[in-house]
Chain A
């Protein structure tokens, strides 16, 4: 995460009407935003929709972006909020099929790893959104405690305590599945 000053330059160019500068930001952040949404939602199609919405909202609100905050904190906060909105939209009518296969294994993923990762994602989905969010930010986005505090709008101490609780709950959920932890 060393590209923030460069991000601000790109934001300035976007603000001058340079849409291709925004394209560069999309290229830079699409993988992280998509993966954060995917881990929050456990649904590739929804994650893609959320990622698209995130970039459109970012574009619409670039004029409100305050460069005293890190650009990536801002975009990840929008990504989490949009993911939570998507979860809340699905809640009344549809449950998540936690037994659904998780797609093809990655090229370097063994069958055992694949099963472990599927179990992990199922366990992750049992966590409350605030706990899932800290796990996603720490392990799938790679944020520091400070970044997480900025993204979530809570003090670092709260981040640490929430992350510890989330990991404990995740461990218990994995144990319930019979996964050795």
Chain B
């Protein structure tokens, strides 16, 4: 079957929603006159309808936590490439719209220590990350606790213990199964099947097995259910710990 390339383009453009009214009219006239063109258009429509009917899957619940945990581990490695240096260079060589940021991040120029300080004390609340996580207090230090309140559940995740031996305490009221995942440097704590019978919260607690002399502990927390990720936040100890 041979067909003018122009009509092949028009058939595809129609499927992809890129036809002008004039082109649409031209294609309509052509497919009326040419059964091969009509057949091809119908087949392509069927195929694309099938492709578009595939539902996107939710990513694995632990993906976010794994990424954030890997970033934390990566930036702590001695000699690891820290983004700050490259970023500052990028600011300096970038268009003027970016340059104002150089003043804000000027402190980053001092290098690794400045980056570590910024990472620890950036002061952005978890609520700025995903909306409904509301931290207690409004301090500049990393949040020790995140509260959540959504259609599936209410409760909180609290960071206890010490920087070297962090403990995660979960308190949840939920009428369907939810899971809380806390990640630190590649290690995960999972609190599965948090399904409360009534209004009494389920309280669980677990400690990370890693023990070291770390100066910081930044813990990525995800709350998930069958439908996907409900909440995400990052907890950490303040510099006073």
Give the B-binding residues of A (Cβ under 8 A). Answer: 12, 14-24, 26-27, 30-35, 38, 44, 48, 51-52, 55-56, 59-65, 67-68, 106, 108-109, 113, 116-117, 120, 135, 138-140, 145, 160, 163-164, 167, 170-171, 174, 181
Residues of A within 8 A of B56 (CB): 31-32, 35, 140
Q: A18-B118, A67-B97 are in contact. List 8 more A-B contacts (CB 8 A).
A: A15-B91, A19-B119, A20-B126, A27-B130, A48-B63, A62-B87, A65-B90, A106-B55
Alpha-carbon distance between A63 and B60 when the two chains are bound, in angstroms: 28
**Are A34 and B98 within 8 A (Cβ)?**
no
Residues of B within 8 A of A63 (CB): 83, 85-90
Return the CB mask of B49-67 against A: 1 if under 8 Å, else 0. 0111111111110011011
Return the CB mask of B98-121 against A: 1 if under 8 Å, else 0. 100100110010000011001100
Residues of B within 8 A of A12 (CB): 98, 101
Alpha-carbon distance between A38 and B56 when the two chains are bound, in angstroms: 10
Residue on A nearest B118 in the bound complex, by CB: A17
Instruction: Select which of B54, B114, B129 is within 8 A of A27 by beta carbon.
Output: B129
Instruction: Classify chain B's interface size.
Output: 35 or more
Instruction: Select which of B50, B74, B89, B129 is within 8 A of A116 by beta carbon.
Output: B50
Residue on A nearest B85 in the bound complex, by CB: A63
Q: How far is the CB of B24 from chain A (nearest CB, A)?
A: 17
Contact A17/B122 with A35-B56, A138-B16, A145-B16 known, Cβ cut-off 8 Å: yes
Q: Is B70 an interface residue (CB 8 A)?
A: yes
Contact A26/B67 with A12-B98, A14-B83 known, Cβ cut-off 8 Å: yes
Return the CB mask of B32-58 against A: 1 if under 8 Å, else 0. 000000000001101110111111111
Instruction: Select which of B59, B74, B124 is within 8 A of A21 by beta carbon.
Output: B124
Residues of B within 8 A of A26 (CB): 63-64, 67-68
Give the A-binding residues of B (Cβ under 8 A). Answer: 8-9, 12, 16, 18, 43-44, 46-48, 50-60, 63-64, 66-68, 70-72, 74, 81, 83-91, 94-95, 97-98, 101, 104-105, 108, 114-115, 118-119, 122, 124, 126, 128-130, 218, 220, 229, 232, 234
Q: How far is the CB of B89 from chain A (nearest CB, A)?
A: 6
Alpha-carbon distance between A64 and B81 when the two chains are bound, in angstroms: 13
Residues of A within 8 A of B86 (CB): 61-64
Alpha-carbon distance between A20 and B126 when the two chains are bound, in angstroms: 8
Alpha-carbon distance between A33 and B67 when the two chains are bound, in angstroms: 13
Contact A170/B47 with A19-B122, A34-B63, A106-B55 known, Cβ cut-off 8 Å: yes
Residues of B within 8 A of A61 (CB): 86
Q: How far is the CB of B237 from chain A (nearest CB, A)?
A: 15
Contact A51/B53 with A16-B101, A16-B105, A60-B83 known, Cβ cut-off 8 Å: no
Alpha-carbon distance between A106 and B71 when the two chains are bound, in angstroms: 32
Q: Which of B97, B114, B119, B122 has the most CB of A within 10 A?
A: B122
**Are B119 and A17 within 8 A (Cβ)?**
yes
Residues of B within 8 A of A31 (CB): 56, 58-59
**Are A164 and B8 within 8 A (Cβ)?**
yes
Q: How far is the CB of A114 from chain B (nearest CB, A)?
A: 10
Some 26 contacts from A to B, beta carbons below 8 A apart, are: A15-B84, A15-B101, A16-B87, A16-B101, A16-B104, A17-B119, A19-B68, A20-B124, A20-B128, A24-B130, A26-B68, A27-B129, A31-B56, A38-B57, A44-B57, A48-B60, A48-B63, A56-B74, A63-B83, A63-B90, A68-B95, A108-B55, A160-B12, A167-B44, A171-B43, A171-B47
